[in-house]
Structure 1
């Protein structure tokens, strides 16, 4: 890459994106922010993207070992000479000696927050080498310009690296799309959305249904068939009235949102939780863990125990139309357009 006002966008998973994810949305909107302002850029990913200017580690796709891909993308990134690195992969790989390094990050996996990496021996062993390497990156984190995706993440970044986030910018949410599901006429059930994998703690939604006696609907893309079978078995064992809708197209999800009264977020330790805001756009009242970034969005509807969540659920099933409109209005502050504007305001300081 020649010298000039060019940005190297570090997006380790860009070359292997499949479906729709929160991090994928950050990639696309971050790149869009540059495109809309005529800024030249190159994408730096682990696997070769299908199109566009890129630098990559491997010419073929690998979707496993995500944490290690975040480290290995340093090899193609360090060969470039951009005006700025915009690192959307969150890990402080050492680049600031080459050019200013802006990192958009959630809470590091090496921090103490509860995640799937702290819930089983398998994941603890998987993360062990990553932890050893990541701890050595604290100096780079302190040199880089870090933007956190929530205050919750900012605190975890400080804990893990001793580095202060310079700014908090919440992730982009497609609020316009989900507002199409807004309805003041609701049915008495709650909705939970999340990839069907153990790290999402969807069993909390099943247990909430059992404790409260309120029907739950769990919607998610299938990541772990064994976990789905476990959830179904748990639902039967607890006699919880739960319906599972797997790999539901987004347009069909809108129809479910139109009817649901409450959104329950089951993942303790989530750095933000994009489905929370998507549901708010559709007029659902969210119930979120206190131990998460979602608590910053709706602190008044946060829980510590499932018993607290059950009490909130029963109160909110028949929430009035005014509260639903308020939730939808609050969601507007998380739009993609506002994310792009806020992100570009920060990176433009280096261009």
Structure 2
């Protein structure tokens, strides 16, 4: 086991994870440490924080990011060639590094053409590279060094086979699920919406909101991009009952899920959907698109294929208080506890 040494090279902040993807790598790191491995981590956002204090993307930050990516590539080459440690990485055409094990978590919105006109310049470039691997020459070299490919869903397994020609095994990601104490039968009527950004489908929100009564409360959480803020403000000016809370801590997010009745997921081709599972675990009924990896676990009656259907399913579940459905969703969510993921990822490392 190479003296039980592991190097993790990724684009994830494992110190303060804010996304499901970052949380996965924090669990991987902690599981390896608990198992007695000597873990060395090279994280792009953690290194970047030392040099760039502003949260706004600028030219200096972009140059630093490119330099750090090159450092990661060279470090992975050194580790892989000298066989000093087992290398786990989030390698992709956008972040081509060498390694032994790759955990694939593609971005939401992959292959969704109707999102492209709303994307920023950086997002358009990024998605072009992710969807057309020939634009990333280092990726063709680095992927030949990978031994094990893991996908976060069967949808991802099919996706990376189609666009990268890679075979992989499915290992669903972990979700932070608190021990079950009590799921209240009475809840405030309200719809939580997360990730108000283009890639997460915020542009589709008006198509659903306008098909529901104006007094229906919508609570939007998460950092918004320019388009997301514009959508929220426009709905507010039109008289809809919408409130934007911005980024909220993990504890506040879970309190909201425990308080309100519904969670509306907008992202198309979401490869897994951690927030959907978090809602299910806390008694909040999710309504989500019939695309990506979400249909692999969410009951059919909560999936929508059109905006009209989304509004109808939300309205119908608001009228009928189905406590048995809430308990059934909680049971499904428990299949994604950290402990199961930790034991499986360690088995791959062994």
Q: Shorter chain as normaliser: what TM range?
A: 0.7 to 0.9
Deviation (angstroms), 1:224: 2.5
Residues of 1 paired with 2:46 and 2:329: CA distance?
40
Residues of 2 paired with 1:135 and 1:293: CA distance?
29
Deviation (angstroms), 1:168: 1.0
* Structure 1: tracts of 5 or more residues without a match: 50-56
Q: Give 2:307's aligned residue.
A: 306
Residues of 1 paired with 2:44 and 2:68: CA distance?
8
Residues of 1 paired with 2:17 and 2:5: CA distance?
28
The more displaced of 278-287 and 257-266 is 257-266
Shift of the 225–110 alpha-carbon distance from structure 1 to 2, 3 Å rule, reads closer
Shift of the 221–121 alpha-carbon distance from structure 1 to 2, 3 Å rule, reads closer
**Partner SS for 1:211:** coil
State the superposition RMSD in angstroms.
3.3
**Partner SS for 1:319:** coil
TM-score (norm 1): 0.81
1:92-137 deviation per Cα after TM superposition (whole angstroms, max 9, x unaligned): 73525xxxx1100123689634585574472324554664443763
Deviation (angstroms), 1:14: 3.3
Matched-pair contact (CA < 8 Å) for 2:150–2:171: yes
Aligned residues between the structures: 331
Matched-pair contact (CA < 8 Å) for 2:109–2:199: no
1:33-54 deviation per Cα after TM superposition (whole angstroms, max 9, x unaligned): 10111011211223665xxxxx
Residues of 1 paired with 2:75 and 2:228: CA distance?
36
Confirm or deny that 1:284 pairs with 2:284: yes
Residues of 1 paired with 2:116 and 2:75: CA distance?
27
Q: 1:333 aligned to 332, 335, 346, which one?
A: 335
Confirm or deny that 1:164 pairs with 2:155: no
Where do residues 77-116 of structure 1 align in structure 2 (5 Å cutoff)? 77-80=76-79, 81-90=83-92, 93=96, 95=98, 101-107=100-106, 112-113=111-112
Confirm or deny that 1:266 pairs with 2:269: no
Shift of the 85–314 alpha-carbon distance from structure 1 to 2, 3 Å rule, reads same
* Structure 2: tracts of 5 or more residues without a match: none
1:167-211 deviation per Cα after TM superposition (whole angstroms, max 9, x unaligned): 11122111117x5683221233222222x3322222433432221
Residues of 1 paired with 2:284 and 2:347: CA distance?
32
Where do residues 38-49 of structure 1 align in structure 2 (5 Å cutoff)? 38-46=36-44, 49=47
Residues of 2 paired with 1:60 and 1:115: CA distance?
36
Matched-pair contact (CA < 8 Å) for 1:135–1:160: no
Shift of the 309–59 alpha-carbon distance from structure 1 to 2, 3 Å rule, reads closer
Q: 2:157 aligned to 154, 157, 164, which one?
A: 154
Deviation (angstroms), 1:71: 5.0
